[in-house]
Every structure is written in C-alpha cells, then in structure tokens.
Structure 1
C-alpha cells in the first residue's frame, strides 16, 4: 500500500478457490498431488516495479498462508533460465523462477513453454 492506494498484490488461495490455471491439461498430466495453496498472479503497479515490491507481495501471501495453517504452496512463475531474450516486466504476471528460488521455493517441473511449477512447504504460524 502507498497510503490508500494498493500498489501490489498477490492472488493466492486453495485449488478449489483458484481452479483455473494456464496450461491446465499439461499440468494435470504431470502432477502427483494437489497443493494446499496456489499463488497464481502477482500484480505490481508499473510505477513501483523493480523496487522489490513483488517479493513483498509474495512474502505477504506466504505469511497469510502460514497464519491459515500452512501447507504445500505452488506457484507458476516464468522460467527464464534458458532464455536469452529479455522479457518485459509487464508480461511477468507471476514473476520469475529466480525470485521464487530466493524465497525458498524449489523447482518441480515445467508448465507450458515458458512457465514452471515451483513448490514450498509453509509451516503454520
């Protein structure tokens, strides 16, 4: 928040609350279990990008998940590890694999051509 203005947020919820994800057919074909929670989208106002706000939004969601009892959390960031072309931050609707790795997530598997499944177990608060 910047005063009364929301400058960033992370959408999270259970698979029942957030059933729609990109590349669902491939995702379902390779999953071994449903997560307890998903982080499906992170928004940061363009005036506040590249200032660490995305990380704050994700850690805020993780804190709320811990308060709700924790569990296995999945997210689906862009995997730019093998990409040589720079991608505009406006297209990174769920940030990057590198950021999730810094936050303690581990790579699980690819999802579509440019995304991946990252997982983390969050302890209850």
Structure 2
C-alpha cells in the first residue's frame, strides 16, 4: 500500500478508506465481492429507509469506536437526507447505551464530519 500523509480531514479519511479497500479488492477479489454484495443488500431501501439504516450504522460505529465507519456513515446519513438534528438525536441514543466513550466520538468526530461534508457540497 502506498504511503499516506496523516489524516487531517474527513475527505482524506474517506479517500484513505477507499484506497485501502481497492488494494484489498485486488488481493482478495472474491472476499471483497461477497462482502460488498452483502453490505449493499443490507443498506438497500426496505421497511427501513436507507437514511434510517445509516443512522443505525452510525450509532453502532460510534459505540464500537470505529473512526472510519463513523466518518463513512456520517456521510451516508447526510447523503440520504438526514438532518443534523436527526444525526445528533441518534448520537444521544448511542450515548445512552455507550456512555462517555460514545459521547466523546459524537461531540468531536461526528460534528467535525458534518461541518466538513456540508462544506464539500457547496
């Protein structure tokens, strides 16, 4: 894998994740193909909307302290039309379950992502 400068933005983190996934896909194409098909199916519109599914995934990512998934699903929330208030409410539920560790990710990384991703749209 090529060298990457330390991450300093949401956009850089998303690029780093996609780059790493690309390398993995080249090395393990069958695993990547099956994983991608599975996750695409999980996030398809169904009884729950894609927005609801990204809000759930964001809460799980925050509770798991998974920085890349926090960024990815914050973007997914915004891309599927979630408002900042909906995201913050989901964070509150996550913090009720995950305590201070979940809240620390929510009040820093998620809020930074919302600002940066909204700036990229302009």
TM-score grouping bracket, smaller chain normalisation: 0.3 to 0.5
Which structure carries more helix by proportion? 2
Which structure carries more strand by proportion? 1
- State TM-score, norm by structure 1: 0.32
- State TM-score, norm by structure 2: 0.32
Larger-gyration structure (1/2): 2
